[in-house]
Structure 1
Amino acid sequence: MWWTSWDAVVRIVLVGAAGYAALVLLLRVSGKRTLAKLNAFDFVVTVALGSTLATLLLDQKTSWTDGVVALALLVLLQLLVALLTTWWEATRGVVTAQPTLLLADGSVRRDVLRRNRISESELRQAVRSSGQGDLGSLAAVVLETDGTMSVVPLSAAGDRSALADLDQATLAHLRAVTDR
């Protein structure tokens, strides 16, 4: 269908502007965490927000109030999950992935790369992007919960307390490599 009516176009403009304003307001109220780098849960919420806004814009049966209540519910649930994962460590593993050690003291963990579907070329790219040029000069490369890779040079590793949230098997591997 190429054309419905001016009423439909005016509704899209008015409800779209009001829905957009409501979404921006809700996101500002919910804080920076809602717009941070995305883990799987954040990605799902972001897609759901976009889908809800699109429905609000295009479905004439959906009132502005219904759409804003749906948007507010999604933002509230995201905020609630963020609070739960902050307060109770056990809930974090349900919602977000565990950071993963890809390289330890210059040694590439090829089995871990394969398990996480990351090529050595992608690992080297992350290392280069961090300004490093020698894998042997690195204490760690960590695949973070949002899919980014953090590079820790040996010269900046210190007591390695920044790696404390890695899983216990990874920490044991790291200690074994460090003790050599």
Structure 2
Amino acid sequence: MDVVIRALAIYLVIVALFRITGKRTMAQVTTVDLVLLLIISEATQQALLGDDFSITTAALAIITLVFLDRVADLLKFRSRKVNRLIEGAPIVLVERGQPMRERLRKEHISVEDILAAARAQQGLLRLDQIDYAILESSGGISIIPVTPARDGSADTTTPPGA
């Protein structure tokens, strides 16, 4: 039973830690992030197993962690509040071509990060070509380009079908 309690405690600490550190942590894993994850896993192993390195104890810890993850998934699926608590909510970073500077600063995202996502996803080069840029709960940035009707380039004088 000690292993189950240890696994629960470690699971909660790690989920809280990654939730606090922000969405971008898991969206773009750098070499430094990978090294940090490896070190965390080694430190976590000691906390999970204690002095008992038997296969049974390791299996029980793994089963407990997978079970906790599935319970968290079920709770997120059934409750919007739990989902927002664990996953967070999407955040608008650019609105109608204007960067939301305070939100960018809070999420540690630069305008260059948004432009890189815009180039990769939509082939856009400038902020004024972006209607919305949204930081998703998963950590990715979604880019919604300006539509022709909004940028004024649509020809409204020619009737449809003419």
Q: Aligned to 1:121, which of 109, 112, 116?
A: 112
CA contact (8 A) 2:115 2:126 kept: no
Q: In structure 2, what is the Cα distance between the partners aligned to 1:53 and 1:142?
A: 33
What is the TM-score when the length of structure 1 is the normalising length?
A: 0.53
Secondary structure of the residue that 1:118 maps to in structure 2?
Answer: coil
Residues 119, 52 of structure 1: alpha-carbon distance in 2 compared, 3 angstrom cutoff = closer
CA displacement, residues 112-168 of structure 1 (integer Å, 9 cap, x when unaligned): 111222122222222222222232222210111222211111339xxxxxxxxxxxx
Name the residue aligned to 1:17: none
Shift of 1:84: 0.6
CA contact (8 A) 1:99 1:142 kept: yes
Which consecutive unaligned segments of at least 5 residues does structure 1 have?
Answer: 1-38, 157-180
Amino acid at match of 2:95: A
Report the number of matched residues.
113
Q: Aligned to 2:95, which of 99, 104, 108?
A: 104
Q: Aligned to 1:80, which of 71, 81, 102?
A: 71
Q: Greater relative contact order (Cα 8 A, min sep 6): structure 1 or 2?
A: 2
Q: In structure 2, what is the Cα distance between the partners aligned to 1:145 and 1:111?
A: 18
Q: In structure 2, what is the Cα distance between the partners aligned to 1:84 and 1:60?
A: 33
CA displacement, residues 59-108 of structure 1 (integer Å, 9 cap, x when unaligned): 87321011111101101101110111111101112211221100011111
Name the residue aligned to 1:154: 146
Name the residue aligned to 1:140: 132
What is the TM-score when the length of structure 2 is the normalising length?
A: 0.58
Map 1:1-180; keep pairs closer than 5 Å: 40=19, 50-51=41-42, 61-130=52-121, 131-155=123-147
Residues 53, 107 of structure 1: alpha-carbon distance in 2 compared, 3 angstrom cutoff = closer
CA displacement, residues 11-38 of structure 1 (integer Å, 9 cap, x when unaligned): xxxxxxxxxxxxxxxxxxxxxxxxxxxx
| Aligned-residue identity in percent | 23
CA-based RMSD of the aligned residues comes to 3.2
Q: In structure 1, what is the Cα distance between the partners aligned to 2:102 and 2:50?
A: 48
Which consecutive unaligned segments of at least 5 residues does structure 2 have?
Answer: 1-17, 21-25, 27-36, 149-162
Name the residue aligned to 1:24: none
